């Protein structure tokens, strides 16, 4: 056992370099063998995490520095995964707040810092990426100090230690001018600043479940910090829910401690350390594991509520069941329920229709990640347009608002400002940094659906946007929807180049020759604002006249390929997105033209 333990979380805005810094900490603490092959961003183990370059679920690791064991939790930086960050903070005794030396503190920095200051932690500030050409560490330090003041930090919290780092090169310094080539100043600062956990050994064992994992060998694995006492393998332990009611009594079949990236089996776990425990099938995040001599639950810190919902439904298109392995409502329901066990910020409700489930989460990205994960697992289903969740406060309708930060070249800033104002956004500040403007807005969440794509088009792909849930505010009124209509397939069949050639001036197509389509499927984006039914499967009439060579050379613009996130942003209230392991198809809710007309009429009279 270690004489000393430190439990820390690394918190930061997305892409400020948390995972890269943890990689270097693992390497320099001797976690890997000298000849061991180590992947880049080794902590981002999921396929989606690797592809998108973001951390989606928090990870536990541990390094040794001298006689001290440092348990490190790498947390997600994206606002939609804030639920992960909040519960992880309860497991540690201090935080490292990482800020990019060029970008400065961004919305998620503010969010995670507020949470950690409320818990009374005294953070270590790491100004990362000081090797960037546009780094401005002194100004960023002032911005961080101002942020601490705004968030009502105590005098002790304001007296934070500062480390300057080049995470990618594994270098940390206490002073900018210092000459140093490793991370030892950071390790020493952690041991000096972060308090050791209180280790009450002579009390009954208690542990709050803060995180969950799964293993094919031992089933569900509960992860958390041992609050008091000790536990030995095979000991009889009770599992209590958040209200203190008994869920099950069972033996702790396996105990694990963290060492580097591995979970190592141990015989005993002690107070203050972060451990993993197997043997409890019904365990959920927020439950308490306790010795049977003291059946009281630990306080659970409630996380923020979801702000957005989508309806997941059984796919009922003419192509249903052709590409997916799991297509029934029971299979979809079981998968969604499994998600709620490990992902505390997702809620699933059954609607009146047994084939439709309402799935609520923190934002579009979180729901898109769930959809993409299910799709890769072989599920086939369809989803509706995201909608915000309203609240009734003092008899008045309130809706979620977000703080939006857009970094954009000054040539395009007027376009972005106009667009956000049309979406009921209110500008709170505008600052200039070189040729770029930083615009800060408060915008209703529903006004941001579809905004990212429009902003990238308006700024020629150069604008950068960050958003973060701010608060519930009074309903902001009607917001204009999508300004372009769709091109809808008239009948089922295979798309022909002959048909597309004749329709090219109508808009941009999402399909190409050879694709199979069905009646009511959206096959393109109309140049006008209304919907237009077109025949994309029309074949050329065969005659016995031979055409000239030039008449056969058909030139067709390439089809527009939309990612899952772009499809979710694009679909309208009367449309669904059909999701299968192989395809993404946008379709009308009512495939038949006359049914669509009837539904539109009923809506107008309603």
Q: How confident is the model at residue 76 (pLDDT cuts 50, 70, 90)?
A: low
**Domain spanning 391-474: CATH 3.30.70.240:** yes
20 is in an annotated binding site: yes
Sequence-distant (6+) residues with CB within 8 A of 299 are: none
The average pLDDT across 543-563 equals: 69
pLDDT at position 585 is 93
Across residues 286-292, what is the average pLDDT? 83
Average pLDDT over the chain, rounded to whole? 80
159 appears as a binding residue in the annotation: no
According to the model, what pLDDT value does residue 606 have? Answer: 58
Strands 206-208 and 211-215: unpaired
Query: Looking at the domain covering 206-291, what would its CATH class be?
Result: mainly beta
What does the alpha-carbon distance between residue 193 and residue 211 come to, in Å, rounded to a whole number?
25
Ranges of each domain in the chain: 4-193, 206-291, 391-474, 486-575+584-605
Structure tokens at 193: 């600043």
Q: Mean pLDDT throughout 407-425?
A: 88
Mean pLDDT over 358-375 rounds to 85
Containing H/E element for 259?
strand 254-259
Reply yes or no on whether the pLDDT at 550 is more than 60.
no
Mean pLDDT of 542-551: 59
pTM for this one?
0.71
> Do the Cβ atoms of 388 and 445 come closer than 8 Å?
yes
Superfamily covering domain 486-575+584-605? bipa protein (2.40.50.250)
Stretch 344-348: mean pLDDT, rounded?
A: 80
15 labelled ligand-binding:
yes
Segment 323-345 shows an average pLDDT of 85
Token digits of residue 251: 């033996």
Q: Is pLDDT at 452 greater than 50 in this prediction?
A: yes
pLDDT of 355 reads: 92
Average pLDDT over residues 80-104: 73
- Enclosing H/E stretch for 428: strand 426-433
Q: How large a percentage of the chain has pLDDT more than 70?
A: 85
Select from 137, 47, 153 the least CA-distant residue to 101. 137
Query: Sorting pLDDT into bands at 50, 70 and 90, what band is 42?
Result: very low
Q: Among 226, 192, 262, which residue's Cα sits nearest to residue 26?
A: 262
Was 273 annotated as part of a binding site?
no
The architecture CATH gives domain 4-193:
3-Layer(aba) Sandwich (3.40)
Mean pLDDT across 390-404: 89
104: CB partners within 8 A, 6+ apart: 136, 139, 140, 143, 144
Q: Which tops the pLDDT comparison, 477 or 253?
A: 477
CA distances from 308 to 185, 390, 400 (A): 43, 9, 9
C-alpha to C-alpha distances, 516 to 78, 325, 349, 370, 371, nearest whole angstrom? 37, 20, 34, 27, 23
Ligand-binding annotation for 131, yes or no, is: yes
pLDDT at position 13, please?
Answer: 66
If you average pLDDT over residues 539-566, what whole number do you get? 72
Tell me if 130 is assigned to a ligand binding site.
yes
Q: Is 129 annotated as a binding residue?
A: yes
């Amino acid at each position: 056992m270690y004489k000393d333990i430190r439990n820390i979380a690394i918190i930061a805005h997305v892409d400020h370099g948390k995972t890269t810094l943890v990689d270097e900490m693992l390497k320099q603490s001797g976690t890997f063998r000298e000849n061991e092959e180590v992947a880049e961003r080794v902590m981002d183990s999921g396929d989606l995490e690797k592809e998108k370059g973001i951390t989606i679920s928090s990870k536990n690791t541990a390094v040794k520095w001298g006689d001290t064991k440092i348990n490190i939790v790498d947390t997600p930086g994206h606002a939609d995964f804030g639920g992960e960050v909040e519960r992880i903070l309860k497991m540690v005794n201090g935080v490292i707040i990482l800020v990019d030396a060029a970008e400065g503190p961004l919305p998620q920095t503010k969010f995670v810092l507020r949470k950690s200051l409320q818990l009374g932690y005294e953070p270590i500030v790491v100004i990362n990426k000081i090797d960037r050409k546009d780094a401005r560490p002194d100004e960023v330090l002032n911005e961080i100090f101002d942020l601490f003041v705004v968030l009502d930090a105590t005098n002790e919290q304001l007296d934070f230690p500062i480390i300057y780092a080049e995470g990618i090169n594994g270098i940390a310094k206490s002073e900018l001018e210092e000459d140093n080539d490793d991370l030892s100043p950071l390790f020493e600062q952690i041991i000096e600043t972060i308090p050791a956990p209180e280790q009450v050994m002579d009390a009954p064992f208690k542990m709050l479940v803060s995180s969950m994992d799964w293993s094919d060998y031992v089933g569900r694995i509960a992860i958390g910090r041992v609050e008091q006492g000790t536990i030995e393998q095979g000991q009889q332990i009770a599992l209590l829910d958040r209200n203190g009611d008994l869920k099950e009594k069972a033996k702790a079949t396996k105990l694990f401690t963290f060492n580097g990236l591995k979970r190592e089996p141990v015989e005993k776990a002690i107070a203050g350390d972060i451990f993993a425990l197997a043997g409890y099938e019904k365990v959920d995040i927020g439950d308490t594991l306790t010795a049977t001599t003291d059946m009281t639950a630990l306080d659970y810190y409630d996380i923020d509520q979801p702000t957005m919902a989508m309806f997941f439904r059984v796919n009922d298109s003419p192509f249903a069941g052709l590409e997916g392995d799991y297509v029934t409502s029971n299979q979809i329901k079981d998968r969604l329920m499994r998600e709620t066990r490990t992902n505390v910020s997702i809620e699933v409700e059954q609607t009146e229709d047994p084939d439709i489930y309402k799935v609520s989460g923190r934002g579009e990205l979180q729901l898109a990640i769930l959809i993409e994960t299910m799709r890769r697992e072989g599920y086939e289903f369809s989803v509706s347009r995201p909608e915000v969740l309203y609240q009734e406060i003092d008899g008045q309708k309130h809706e979620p608002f977000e703080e939006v930060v857009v970094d954009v070249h000054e040539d395009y800033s007027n376009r972005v400002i106009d667009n956000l104002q049309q979406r009921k956004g209110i500008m709170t500040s505008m600052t200039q940094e070189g040729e770029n403007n930083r615009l800060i807005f408060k915008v209703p969440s529903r006004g941001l659906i579809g905004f990212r794509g429009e902003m990238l088009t308006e700024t020629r792909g150069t604008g950068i946007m960050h958003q973060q849930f701010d608060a519930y505010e009074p309903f902001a009124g009607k917001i204009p929807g999508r300004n372009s209509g769709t091109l809808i397939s008239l009948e089922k069949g295979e798309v022909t180049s002959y048909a597309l050639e004749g329709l090219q001036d109508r808009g941009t197509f999402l399909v190409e020759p050879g694709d199979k389509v069905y009646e009511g499927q959206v096959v393109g984006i109309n140049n006008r604002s209304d919907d237009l039914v077109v025949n994309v499967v029309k074949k050329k009439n065969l005659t016995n006249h031979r055409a000239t060579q030039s008449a056969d050379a058909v030139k067709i613009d390439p089809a527009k390929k939309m990612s899952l996130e772009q499809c979710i942003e694009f679909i309208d209230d009367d449309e669904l997105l059909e999701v299968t392991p192989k395809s993404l198809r946008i379709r009308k809710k009512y495939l038949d033209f006359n049914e669509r007309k009837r539904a539109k009429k009923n809506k107008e009279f309603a």
